[in-house]
Structure 1
Amino acid sequence: MPTMTSAVTLPPGPTAPRAVQGAYALTQPLRGLRRLRDRYGDAFTVNVPIFGNAVVISDPAEIKQLFTSGPELVDNLEVNLGRVLGPRSLFALSGEEHKRQRKLLVPPFHGRRLAAYEKIVEAEAVREFASWPEERPFATLPSMMRITLNAILRAVFGAEGAEFAELRELLPPFVTLGSRLAVLPIPKKGRFNPWRRFEAMRREYDAIVGRLIAKARPDGDDVLSMMLQTRYDDGSRLTREEISDQLLTLLTAGHETTATTLAWAVERLRRHPALLAELQGDDGTLLDATILEVQRTRPVIDLTARQVRQDGFRLGRWTLPKGYAVLVSIALIHDDDAVFPHAATFDPHRFAGARPDLYQWIPFGGGTRRCLGAAFATMEMTVVLRTLLREFTLVPAAEPGERWHSRGVAYAPAKGGRAVVRRRTTGGAQ
C-alpha cells in the first residue's frame, strides 16, 4: 500500500474551538475519548492544546502501520516530554539521534543485568512491606512509589549515600510537578509561574547528579558507570548533559508508572478472590498473565503519539497533512471487544501461556519508541507482586472498583490502591 498521496482525507470529529476541546480533554480524559469513539468511530480528529490538530486512532491495523512507518514519514512530536525531562532525553530526540542514543541505553536493562536487579527490587519490597499495617485499610501507592524509586536509584547509581537521600526527597515532588506541567499548556513566563519552581528543582537535581558522576567508579556495574564507559561508534563519550537528561528519564519514567501499575494490581486482585486463590499455587505463569491483564485493563498512560513529517501520509483509510499529530489511544484499543473478547472483563487467563500482540497490547507504546525500560518494569512488577503474595494474604474487597484519577501524565487508582492485609506465618499458613 502506498504511504504518500496528495489529497487529504481526515476522519470526522468535534468542531468546537481548541480551548473548548482542551477543557473537555482535561476534565473528561478517558470518558471523553470513549464518547468520541461512540459518536465518530475508531478514528476521529481533534484540535487540542499542546498537540494541536491531531487524529486519534484505535484500529489495530492502523496502529501497526503507524508503529512500523519510518521516521521520514512519522516521528517524535515537536512538543514532547523533553519539555520536562530535558533536550537530550530520549523523549526529546528524533530520527538518527534517537536511534543512536537508544542503542547505547539498551544493554543495562536487558539480559543478565535484569537478574542482578531482581535482588535489589526484592530487598526494597521486603523492607517496605515490614511497615504495612494488618487488618486495616491503607493506600498502597505511596509504598509502591518508595519501592520503585529506591530500586531504580540503586540500579542506576549502585550504592547509597548522601546524594541518595537528597534524590529520594527531591524526585517525588519533582515528578509530580513535571507530570502536571507536561500536560498543561502553561508558558514558561511570568513571575509566579510553576515552571520557575520546576527549573529550580532541576538545577538541584543536576547538581546532585554532577556529584554522583564525579564519584562514579569507572569499573562499576551500575547504570551510571556503564553510561560513563559507553562510547558512540565514533569513539566519543556521552556528554554530562546527555547523562543528566537520560538519567532523569530513567528515574522518572521508570518509577511512577511502575508504582502506579502495582497499585492498580492490588486494586484488581482484591476484587477477584478466585484469582487470588489460584495465584497461591502458581508457578509464575498466572502471575505473568495477571500483570499483562492489569496493564490491559488499567493502562497508566493513555496516549502514545507520532507527528506527520511529510504531506500526504496515508494511514489506513486516512491521508494526513504534514504537522498533524497521530495519537494512539491505548485505552480504546485495550477496551475493544473485537481485539480482546469480553474486554470489560478482568480475565488474566486470556494471556496464560500466550504473549500479547505488541501492536494491540501497548501499555509501553510501540515501534522504535517503545519504552526502553519495559523489561525492567515487568521484572519489578513480577518481583514485587510475588513478594507481596508470599508475605501477605490480601483481603478481598466488597466495595466497587476504584475510579481513575489523573496525576498529570499517569492515571492512578483514586484511593491509591487500598489494601487490607494479613501477614502470613513462616510456614505459609494463614
Structure 2
Amino acid sequence: MPNGDLVDLLAGQEYTDMCAVHHTSSGVTEAGVPPGPTLPRAVQGVAFVAARRQTMAALSRRYGPVFSLDVPVFGRTVAVSDPKLAKQVFTTPAGVLSNVQPNLGRILGERSMFSLEGDEHRRRRKLLTPPLHGKSVKSYERIIEEEVLRESASWPEGREFESLDPMMRITLNAILRAVFGADGAQLDSLRRLIPPMVELGSRLATLPNLPARLGRLNPWDRFLARRREYDSVIAELVATAKADPNLESRTDIVALMLRSTYDDGTTMTTGEIADELLTLLAAGHETTATTLAWAFERLRRHPRVLADLVHEVDEGGDELRQATILEVQRSRPVIDLAGRTVQATVFELGPWRIPQGHTVLVSISLLHDDSAEFRDPERFDPTRFLGSKPSGSWMPFGGGTRRCIGAAFATMEMDVALRTILREFEVVPTAAPSERWHSRGVAYSPKRKGRLVVRRR
C-alpha cells in the first residue's frame, strides 16, 4: 500500500475508544486520553515510520491539536501541537514527566544527558553549560570560518552539487577542533567513525530493539562495534589531555570538561565524557549541517532574501542573517518531535488525563506550521523575526530543562558558515521545485541534499 493511502486510512478512521470523552446532557464532564485511530499498532507503526510528518499532519487535521496513537518504540502516545499544552509539557517537573523512553540515550550512552533524570541531569547540565555558551562559544568562531574556507576551496563553480555532505564535513571538523583543540591521527579516526555512526544510530533510534538471534544481520551489533572503537579513541584522547602540562590554559571543550567539578568537588569520569562528547559530535554536527543544507535550499528559491543577505554581509551586518536562521529552523525543522514519558499515576494535560507509562510527543513541525502562531506559515519569510524574538511556539531545540544544551554553539556555527559562504561566493538562484523532506531516521534533510550552485565573488 502506498504511504499516502496508508496515511489516509489512518486519519480517516472513526474514533470509537470509550475512554476518550464522557458526555452528559450538559456537555463534557470528564476527559481521559484524547481521540485517535484504533487500527492495530503494527499498522499505525508502519505509517509512523514510513511517513511520520504526513501521518502527524493528517491526524492533526482529523482529530485536532491533541490526539492519541499507538506505535512501536513509544507505545501508547499522545501527540500535542497546542502551544499552551506544549509549554505545560516542557515545564512539568521530572517526577511527573521523565525524558521519553526509550530515548537517544540508548544510542549516545547511558551516561549522557539524554539518559540522566532529576538531580543527576541538573548536575550534569550545570557542569556542561559554561563550555557551550557566552565567551567560550565566541572563541570558536575562527575555527568555523577556517573549516568553511578549507572545505569550500574545492567547490566547483557553475555546476550543481549536493551541499549536505560538505556541510557535514565542515560542522564535524569544526566541532572536533573545538572539542579537542588540535588535529591528529586520533581525530582522523573520529572523522572516519562518526559519520557512519550518526547515520546508523539515527535510523536505529526510530526502531525497536531487534532479537539477538539475528546475529551479524542485527544492525545494533554493527553500531556497538563502532561504539567500542569510538570509546577506545576517546579514552586515549582524554588520557593525553589529562597528561598535558598546559591543561589549565587550554580552551577546548575536553579541557574545560576535565577542569570542571560538580558541587561536591567530583569530576566527570572518562565514560561520562565519552558519552557527552558523542552527543556533541553526533547529534550536534548532523543537525547543524542539515539546517545549513536547508538554508541553501530555501535561499536559492528566494532570490530577494538572498540578495538582501549578501548586501548585509558586505555592509557588516547580521540582523537579517540571524532572522533567516530562525526562519529556516521554523519552516524546515530538522527534528520534528520532542517527547516525555508519564511517570505519575496520571498526568493532567489541559482537559485530558494521561495514564502512567504513556508517551507524550510535542510536534515541533505542527507547532511551526500553526497559522495562529505564524502568519502564512507556508511562506518562507525571515522578516517575521526582524526586531522580535521568536514566540514560545518556535522550538527547534526542544524546550524546558531538556532544551538542547548546544543551541548557542549551533546558532553561532550556522551564522559564521552562512556569513563566510555568502562573502566568498555568489549563490546562484534556481526555479526548480522545492526539495522534498527526507527522513534520515531522527532527522529530516532535503531529499536531494540541498543542491547548490556557486561562483566565486
TM-score band (shorter)? over 0.9
Distance in 1 (alpha carbons) for counterparts of 2:211 and 2:144:
37
1:422: which partner in 2?
455
2:356 equivalent in structure 1:
322
1:177-206, Cα deviation, whole Å (9 max, x unpaired): 111111111326131211111111001000
Secondary structure class of the residue paired with 1:92: coil
CA distance in 2, matches of 1:313, 1:248: 33
> For residue 428 of structure 1, what is the aligned residue in structure 2?
none
**1:11/1:318 contact within 8 Å kept:** yes
**Residue 341 of structure 1 aligns to which amino acid in structure 2?**
R
Say what the alpha-carbon RMSD is for the aligned residues. Answer: 1.2
Match of residue 39 from structure 2? 16
**Alignment equivalent of 2:72, drawn from 49, 60, 63:** 49
Is the aligned partner of 1:129 residue 2:129? no
* Correspondence for 1:256 among 283, 286, 289: 286
Q: Could you tell me whether the CA contact under 8 Å between 1:8 and 1:312 is conserved in 2?
A: no
Q: Any conservation in 1 of the 2:31–2:351 contact (CA below 8 Å)?
A: no
1:312 and 2:346 are equivalent in the alignment? yes
Give the aligned partner of residue 336 of structure 2.
302
Match of 1:277 among 303, 307, 310: 307
Q: Which residue of 2 aligns with 1:402?
A: 435
Question: 2: CA distance between counterparts of 1:191 and 1:351?
Answer: 51
TM superposition score normalised by structure 2: 0.90
Q: What are the residue-to-residue correspondences of 1:203-242 with 2, within 5 Å?
A: 203-216=228-241, 217=244, 218-219=247-248, 220-242=250-272
Deviation, 1:232, is: 1.2
Q: Output one character per residue of 1:76-127: Cα deviation in whole Å (capped at 9) or x when no partner.
A: 1231111111100111111111111111010001111111100000100011
The amino acid across from 2:345 in the alignment is D
Match of 1:161?
A: 184
2:395 aligned to 343, 355, 362, which one? 362
Supply the AA of the counterpart residue of 1:379.
M
Query: Equivalents in 1 of 2:346, 2:305: separation in Å?
Result: 49
- Once residues 174 and 320 of structure 1 are traced to their aligned partners in structure 2, the CA distance between those partners, rounded to angstroms, is 35
* CA distance in 1 between partners of 2:102 and 2:418 (Å): 36
SS of the aligned residue for 2:348 comes to strand
Distance 2:364 2:182 in 1: 36
Alignment equivalent of 2:296, drawn from 250, 253, 266: 266
2:15 equivalent in structure 1: none
**1:344-396: per-residue Cα shift (whole Å, max 9, x none)?**
10000000121102x30000000000000000000000000011110111111
For residues 252-280 of structure 1, give each alpha carbon's deviation from its aligned partner in whole angstroms, at most 9, with x where no partner exists. 11100000000000000000001111112
Unaligned runs of at least 5 residues, structure 1: 1-6, 425-430
Of 62, 80, 99, the residue aligned with 2:122 is 99
Please state how far the C-alpha of 1:313 moved relative to its aligned partner.
1.5
2:346–2:353 Cα contact (<8 Å) kept: yes
Aligned residues: 418
TM-score under structure 1 normalisation? Answer: 0.96
Which consecutive unaligned segments of at least 5 residues does structure 2 have? 1-29
Q: Distance in 2 between matches of 1:210 and 1:169?
A: 17
Q: Which runs of 4+ in 1 moved over 6 A?
A: none
Q: 1:20-48 deviations in whole A, cap 9, x for unaligned? A: 11100011111111111111111110110
Q: Would the aligned equivalents of 1:188 and 1:195 in 2 still touch at CA under 8 Å? A: no
Q: Which has the higher contact order (CA 8 A, sep 6+)?
A: 1
- Is the CA contact (8 Å cut-off) linking 1:148 and 1:258 kept in structure 2? yes
Indicate conservation of the 8 Å contact 2:198/2:283, yes or no. Answer: no
% identical equivalent positions: 58
